[in-house]
Structure 1
Amino acid sequence: MTESLFAIIPLFTLIGLGYLARRTILDSSMLPALNLFVYYFAVPALLFNAARRQSLDDLFNAPALAAFVLGIILTATVAILGSRYFFQCKTPTELVMRALNSVFANYAYMGIPLTFSLLGESAATISIILAGNLLVIGGAQLCLEALRQHSMSLQQVWASLDRSLLRSPIFLATVFGLLASGFGLTLPQVMNTTLDMLAPAAIPVALFCLGASLQFRQIQTSLGELGWLIGVKLLVHPTLTYLACYLLGVTDPAWLVASVLLTALPTGALVHVVAMRYALFEQASSQIVVFSTLISILTVSFWVNLML
């Protein structure tokens, strides 16, 4: 237990330092620039480097990926049924947003720092993050578009994927890293040195920005539903993923640990971006991101101790 706590305390300490700095010495105009640096430069460099060092064969583990997807489906179903029958939410688009809050994790700002710190540049982490972005964010937006328009053409599907994934530097950096690995590409030394300088900044700056971005506002959403969706995200999702891994015979420790820890993370801020874009569940999504991040100090510690 002590070793597990010591492994993650520095991560949450960086989040705390970011929160403290935002309220003391960090000018609010500086935060967007720091976030842009993390999102467009540091994290993509880290993921590109990690992906190109992996063998493509190591990135595909059918039972583990199937368990990850099954965990998403089961968790989304639990969230939808609970919101529908306990909190009387019956609008399909609203239910999709609640499901998205319950299954999309903070891969970029917490998942990468946590799993890379504990497991190293694991192929499992890269593969699961890629699948999570593709299936959860891409899938949710396709569902929302289809529900709003009652049908979707191929052009509309492409436009939705373009907005949600194909312009994402994190997604593209991972894909380009995999292509570099697959084709055995060797970069010029200047590029290697630049990437090696950028990549180490990703973890501390990402966590610092996450802390600086936390904002507490008056809660207007039902506390019951807020607590329900946070509980589903932090407890039900990793539990169902763990059970899915057990049922599908996932035995590789790296894949098992990465799958559970990445699903145990708090709701990712990208959910709020989707909520604002579709004008659905906006304030509640923002609050779920903030409070799930705070509560995850305890729950992530529990899952780290359990898995390691």
Structure 2
Amino acid sequence: MLLSFQSILPLFLMIALGYVAKRTIFNINMLPGLNQFVYYLAVPALLFNAASKASIDNLINGPALAAFFLGAIVTAIIVVFGSRMFFKADSTEQLVLRALNGTFANYAYMGIPLTFAIFGNEAYAATVSIILAGNIFLIGGAQLLIESIRQKELGLRPILAILDRSLLRNPIFISTLLGLLFSANQVSMPAAIHTLLDMLAPAAIPVALFCLGASLQFAKTTIVLAELGWLVLIKLCIHPALTLAAFWLLDVEAPIWLATTVLLTALPTGALAHVVALKYDVFEKETSQIVVVTTVFSLLSVTLWMSWLQ
């Protein structure tokens, strides 16, 4: 356990550094620019470099992805049932957001740094596959559900619009696809472009974690402490445990996929859940607080999961 703690502590210290810098010397107006640098340049460079050395066949592991989906679905059902039974939540839209908070993790800003730093390039295929599946299935699914609730029916146009935002304008998807195309066709990059990507890629991990820390905001909301604790427990403990159980139930024999997927599902609630909450003006302040609290407590939970997985 000590070894696991020491291996991930620098990553959380970088998050803490971002938070402290925001409170002291960092101009918060610079944060959007840094976020865009990470999202549109550094992370895509990291993923393109990894994808250009991989095969698209490596990204498709049906049993492992089925285990990921099963774990997310069962977790969402538990969240909805518990929220209705214990916390009297009866708004369908709020139940969708609660389920999203309990299942969607911070795949990009924490998942990529953690899995690449701990498991190396061996975790690339599983990491990218889970990121894409999570964005499409969880973020896209939540939006489709809310759209269908509000419109009473769901047409082709809203579905295409959501898929467009989830994939065609997603730099994670685009950089991965381009990298795989270069790999499949054995295309060599010009030396100058290759050097540029090699300069950008290492910045993804530290800058992403710094931005995550700088974006944390601690504020009181109307969510009761018991429900906050319940959702934190769901996200950091129950969701990864159910994902692990799904791997065992489906008898998936892929150790790196199991370790990577369980670690990714053990991460705190991702910021995109807050983006969805803001877009639809549903459970917005509560989602913001869940993102912050799960991020803080994930230092302990991720350490425990890492200790067990290793």
Q: TM-score range by the shorter chain?
A: over 0.9
**Alignment: residue pair count:** 308
Aligned counterparts of 2:102 and 2:59: Cα–Cα separation in 1: 25
SS in 2 for 1:30: helix
CA shift for structure 1 position 18: 0.8
More displaced 10-residue stretch of structure 1: 214-223 or 182-191: 182-191
Q: Does 1:84 align with 2:84?
A: yes
CA shift for structure 1 position 167: 1.7
Aligned counterparts of 1:138 and 1:251: Cα–Cα separation in 2: 29
Q: Does 1:4 align with 2:4?
A: yes
Residue 273 of structure 1, aligned match among 272, 275, 283: 275
Aligned counterparts of 1:97 and 1:184: Cα–Cα separation in 2: 43
Aligned counterparts of 1:185 and 1:138: Cα–Cα separation in 2: 33
- 8 Å CA contact retained: 1:138, 1:165: no
Measured against aligned partners, the alpha-carbon deviations of 1:84-137 in whole angstroms (never above 9, x if no partner) come to 111111222111111111111001110000000111122111211121111111
Measured against aligned partners, the alpha-carbon deviations of 1:254-283 in whole angstroms (never above 9, x if no partner) come to 111001000000000111010000010000
Aligned counterparts of 1:77 and 1:179: Cα–Cα separation in 2: 38
CA shift for structure 1 position 188: 2.0
Identity of aligned residues (%): 58
Q: Does 1:146 align with 2:162?
A: no
- 8 Å CA contact retained: 1:233, 1:266: yes
TM-score of the superposed pair, with normalisation by structure 1:
0.97
Measured against aligned partners, the alpha-carbon deviations of 1:46-103 in whole angstroms (never above 9, x if no partner) come to 1121122212222211111110110111111111111111111122211111111111
Q: Which residue of 1 aligns with 2:130?
A: 128
- 8 Å CA contact retained: 1:141, 1:164: no
Residue 158 of structure 2, aligned match among 150, 156, 179: 156
SS in 2 for 1:219: coil
Q: Which residue of 1 aligns with 2:107?
A: 107
Aligned counterparts of 2:173 and 2:57: Cα–Cα separation in 1: 19
Q: How does 1:185-200 map to 2 (within 5 A)?
A: 185-200=187-202
Aligned counterparts of 2:184 and 2:157: Cα–Cα separation in 1: 29
Q: Does 1:259 align with 2:261?
A: yes
Q: Which residue of 1 aligns with 2:59?
A: 59
Aligned counterparts of 1:191 and 1:218: Cα–Cα separation in 2: 47
TM-score of the superposed pair, with normalisation by structure 2:
0.96
Q: Which residue of 2 aligns with 1:305?
A: 307
Indicate how the Cα distance of structure 1 residues 65 and 36 shifts in structure 2: closer, same or farther if over 3 A, else same.
Answer: same
SS in 2 for 1:221: coil
Aligned counterparts of 2:289 and 2:184: Cα–Cα separation in 1: 41
More displaced 10-residue stretch of structure 1: 254-263 or 166-175: 166-175
Q: Which residue of 2 aligns with 1:226?
A: 228
Q: Return 5+ residue gaps in structure 2 as ranges.
A: none
Q: Which residue of 1 aligns with 2:215?
A: 213
More displaced 10-residue stretch of structure 1: 267-276 or 33-42: 33-42
- 8 Å CA contact retained: 1:15, 1:208: yes
Computed over aligned residues only, the root mean square deviation of the Cα atoms, in angstroms, reads: 1.2
- 8 Å CA contact retained: 1:101, 1:233: yes
More displaced 10-residue stretch of structure 1: 91-100 or 161-170: 161-170
Indicate how the Cα distance of structure 1 residues 34 and 97 shifts in structure 2: closer, same or farther if over 3 A, else same.
Answer: same
